[in-house]
Amino acid sequence: MCGSIVGALTMSLPANVHQSYSRLWPYLLIYNLGRISSYTVAGILVGLLGALFVPNLSLNNPHVVMTWISGLFVIALGLYIGGWWQALGFLEKIGAHLWRRIEPFGRHFIPVKHPLEAFGFGLVWGWLPCGLVYSILAFSLASCSAWQGGLLMLAFGLGTLPMSLAMGVTAQWLTRFAHKPIVRQMVGTIVIVFGLFMISEQ
């Protein structure tokens, strides 16, 4: 999904920008700065919710329970990426209700003609419904801390930055490659193993 958006944003830039790597890179960085900023805000808000409500639950060890939930989310993410189980699509449908209210603001920045418009669109883009983002937000909830939740989402956003930048430069080829079934299944398997490892460590 993000690959398609990056490609569309890149092609919406003036021809003298998207046809020149030296002019294109600043816009791609600013797009992603806005996106990562929104991820960080979301992590702070979800971490704050965890701090307010999780300790009050009648659980023997809230941290272990929340870590298990995070691990199960990661496993569900792996199944989702691999195309074996689309449960996270349900969360994306819920997020779509919020997205319908936010998305119109992004139209004010298209076509992007200035770096500030790129940042504004990036801020809106960060709230796009995405199963991957929701699964990482589960970690922010489990952290039971606003600042740790924000740092987790900041780290996640920075971790996605290289691929997002690469998609901005080679949008069509890399997007087609990432959507190949064998690639998605390999990545999904790795994610599932990581989720199982998380649970086994508790």
The gap from C-alpha 155 to its chain's centroid, in whole angstroms, comes to 11
How many CA atoms lie less than 13 Å away from 175 in the CB half-sphere?
16
What pTM was computed for the model? 0.80
| Eight-state DSSP code of residue 60 | S
d(CA 78, CA 191): 5
| Series of mean pLDDT values for 10-residue runs along the chain (202 residues) | 66 75 85 95 95 74 77 87 82 80 84 86 89 87 92 94 76 67 89 87 67
The CA–CA distances, whole Å, from 24 to 81, 90, 107, 109 equal 29, 35, 20, 17
Locate the domains of the chain by residue range: 2-200
